[in-house]
Every structure is written in structure tokens, then in C-alpha cells.
Amino acid sequence: MVRGFYTAASGMHTVIRDINTKSNNMSNLSTAGFKQDRLVTTTFAEALAMREELRTTGRKYELGTDVVRGKKALELKTDFTQGSLQETNRHLDFAIGGSGFFVIQDGREGPDGEELIYEGKYYTRNGQFQIDPEGYLIDGLGHYVLDDGDEPILVERYDFICDEYGNLFTQDWEHIATLGIFNPRNPDLLIKKDEYPFVILDEATAEIENGDGELELENLEFEGIIKQGHIERSNTDIASNMAGLISASRSFQSMSQILKTIDAIVGKSVNELGRL
């Protein structure tokens, strides 16, 4: 009977995470370049001989040492499918057609002087840029947009031109720089962290090899296009997320009622046993 508490509580905890995930997807419908997440769940975690979470903690699960009753949240997966491109006619808006990410620099340091994120760079599909007072191209957080040589881009004026390959030119067609595009072999190894859209978690994650001995986060040649005056809309599926929210809410209510029922039965058993 007591195991029922753990089973129902485990399910409630997973449903709460699912609701938070879908709510976050819905709240970012208007965020350019946003990629929706989905929660992967399992009821068979104890049947896995070993599972490594290199993207998060590196924790290992041995058979029989991490038995889970009920439903468990396995991991959060990001859907990297491209959203639709929307024309804005704003010179500082950019959208990537195809795979790849804009490269952003963040030079902030932690309390011990270490970089807060791996190599001081993070990656985003949100191309809503601005120009700082010094004339450098920056993102919405005020961080430098990097070129293909990992250097900040000095544009000075907003009326520059960008071709489909990411080359930036003045009105007189003088080359300014080329937008840096990070096109990883396996984007699933990128994660969302705090206010950063996507980051590489650490050096160990960056050096993961596939079966052919190739680095999973190797920067492949960019084969897409860059469209100036456009943004990529969020790829959030409104219908599926709304339906999922309704289903998750009903599941939570059901499990809450199960907990109340089990609690009433246990309470009655204790009271009756106490009279004997």
C-alpha cells in the first residue's frame, strides 16, 4: 500500500515537469528562433543495464541500484526542426535557412575567474540583432555577434547589406565581415542553459565521438542560406502542446485523487489496528 504513495507521487512529479515544459513552449510562441522541448518519460528505468547522461551530470545507472516505480522523466529533448521564416524588412533581422546557429560571445566570468560557458561562446537561431554605441553587432542580451574568425563584427551603420552566404557589405559593396555560423554534426548535444539559447556544456561533451571516430560537435561546412530582413518563427506546435497540457492536467488531478484515496485507506487501517 505504501508503495502506492511513491508510484503516484512519481507520476505527479513527472506530470508537473511535463506541464512546465509545454507551458514554456507556449510562452515562447513569439520568440524568434525558439525550439520547442518535449519531456521523454519511461516506466522501465530499472530494466536498463546502464545509462549515461553526458549532457547533464554524467551519472550512471546500474541495474538494480536505481529502481523506479511509476513514471519517471528521463530527459528533456529539444526539437531542432526549422520554424517558418517571416519577413520583417528590418535590416538587423537575420534568419538561417537550413541547419546552423549564430555564434555569440559572452566574456563574463564566474567567481573564480572561469568562463561561465564553454569557450565563452553560445549559439542561437534568434537573429534579432542590434548595434551597440561603438558600432558592434550585438544580440538582445548585449553580447557580441561573432564572425567566421570568432571576432566581434564592427558594422558602425545599420544600412549594411548581407548576402545569402552571410557576407556583410557596406552600401558601396566593401566587405565588412562574414557571419560566423556553427553547424554541429549532432545538435542534440547542445543544451539550453539559463538565459542562453544553446550552449556546449563542457569540454567532455564537445569531444564526444560517434561510431566512425568523428567528433559529434564538429563544425561542419554551412550549406544553408542567410536571409536579411527575416526572422525564424518559433517551431512550437500549438495544437499538440495545448492537447498535452489538457491531458497532463487531467492526469495530475487523477493521481491527486489516488493519493487521497490511499491516504484514507492507510489512515483507516492504522485506526482500526490501533483498537485491536
Pair type for strands 101-105 and 181-182: antiparallel
Per-residue model confidence as pLDDT tens digits over 52-84: 454 444 444 444 444 444 455 567 889 999 999
pLDDT at res. 113: 58
pLDDT at 193: 79
What's the confidence (pLDDT) of residue 256? Answer: 78
Per-residue pLDDT at 88 = 95
Cell readout for 174 is: 566593401
The pLDDT, as a whole number, for residue 153 is: 96
Listed in sequence order, the residues at least 6 apart from 41 whose beta carbon sits closer than 8 Å to its beta carbon are 14, 18, 71, 72, 73, 74
Sequence ranges of the domains in the chain: 2-80+236-275, 85-232
Mean pLDDT for back-to-back runs of 10 residues, the chain (276 residues): 66 86 93 91 50 48 46 74 94 95 80 67 94 94 93 91 95 94 92 82 84 90 95 94 90 79 72 63
Predicted model pTM: 0.79
pLDDT of 187 reads: 92
